[in-house]
């Protein structure tokens, strides 16, 4: 069953963000993931907590592959740099 990683973020260091984006995309694709959406939040529909301005959705064939990517040695340095470049909320869901 497919799994989807959702990220909601605010860029705090545009230079670091720009530098890590191609590496993140390459690592994601290598792990079997793909970007379904990455862009501005268009409109808040419900909820009291304001979202960060950017949202992303990444698809993986399975939850195991999504978690393996997130916890991988390849993603670890990218994750550390991402945390310096942005504030983020991230979660994963599984369909089915």
Domain ranges across the chain: 3-41+53-94
pTM score, two decimals?
0.91
Q: Under DSSP, is residue 64 helix (H, G, I), strand (E, B) or coil? A: helix
Q: At what angle do helices 76-85 and 14-30 cross, to 10 degrees?
A: 150
Q: List the chain pLDDT tens, one digit each, 96 residues.
A: 999 999 999 999 999 999 999 999 999 999 999 999 999 999 999 998 889 999 999 999 999 999 999 999 999 999 999 999 999 999 999 998
Radius of gyration over every alpha carbon of the chain, rounded to an integer in angstroms? 13
3-41+53-94 placed in CATH 3.30.70.100 = yes
């Amino acid at each position: 069953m497919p799994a989807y990683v959702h990220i909601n973020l605010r860029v705090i260091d545009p230079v670091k963000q720009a530098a890590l984006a191609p590496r993140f995309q390459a690592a994601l694709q290598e792990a079997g993931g793909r970007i379904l959406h990455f862009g501005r939040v268009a409109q808040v529909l419900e909820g009291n907590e304001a979202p960060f301005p950017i949202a992303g959705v990444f698809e993986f064939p399975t939850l195991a592959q999504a978690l393996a990517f997130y916890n991988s040695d390849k993603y670890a340095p990218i994750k550390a740099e991402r945390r310096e470049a942005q504030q983020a909320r991230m979660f994963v869901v599984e369909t089915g």
